[in-house]
Amino acid sequence: MTTTPVGGRVVLGDRQPGDPTLPAELSSALQEWERFSDSVARGGRPEEVDLLRRRGRQLASRVADVLGRPVDFADPITGAVESIRVGAPRPLPQLAARRPATEVTGPTPWATGLALSGFCAVLFALGDVVLCRAFSEAFGLLWVPANLLVGLGLAPSLWLVRRMPLWRWLSLGAATGLGAAWLVLLLALLG
């Protein structure tokens, strides 16, 4: 497989009579890579260029495996040509170099965050108390398992977003509000 550096067109040159045809999935992946290389070559960011090169080498390795012989890979950005051997290890994505989406940059906005948490806590507490009171008037003590199911249903979502920059404040407020609602409802049940 060779790619021309201008335009990123995939060219399967120097085909030999005994070469097998490429699987349809691999052919469509090559066409998709060709379109991607076109857009990146016109002004892609550095991480897109890196992804383009890694994906191109991976596809060249797959083509070499199918053909059973080495193929040339021409970098669509620089034009540098390298030979990809049969059974060459495919490059793995470099996940460690990327910053996690939940990483917080800058100082923690305590005032804004706690205000948002407080608003969310009041909203969840009032909503839970009102709904449980209405449920208890209609069905008696069935509000207890129903409210328990609501809390258990929300718990995984609240746990998952506890480290995301904005959502952690909403999660804290929701958990606090539901805890306060349980306290109010249990005290109302006793008194």
How does the average pLDDT of the chain come out, rounded? 82
Q: Which strand (E) or helix (H) includes residue 165? A: none
Domain residue extents for the chain: 2-84, 110-190
> What is the token pair recorded at 30?
């090559």
Q: How many residues does the chain have?
A: 191
Q: How far apart are CA 125 and CA 181, in angstroms?
A: 5
Strand ranges (E), the chain: 2-3, 10-11, 71-74, 81-84
Are 82 and 73 spatial neighbours (Cβ–Cβ below 8 Å)? yes
The residue ranking higher by pLDDT, 7 or 108, is 108
Q: What are the tens digits of pLDDT across the range 146-156?
A: 999 999 999 99
pLDDT over 90 (residue 176): yes
Q: How far apart are CA 112 and CA 117, in angstroms?
A: 9
Q: What pLDDT is stored for residue 120 in this prediction?
A: 96
Q: What pLDDT is stored for residue 7 in this prediction?
A: 47
Q: What are the tens digits of pLDDT across the range 52-91?
A: 888 888 888 888 888 888 888 888 778 888 888 887 665 5
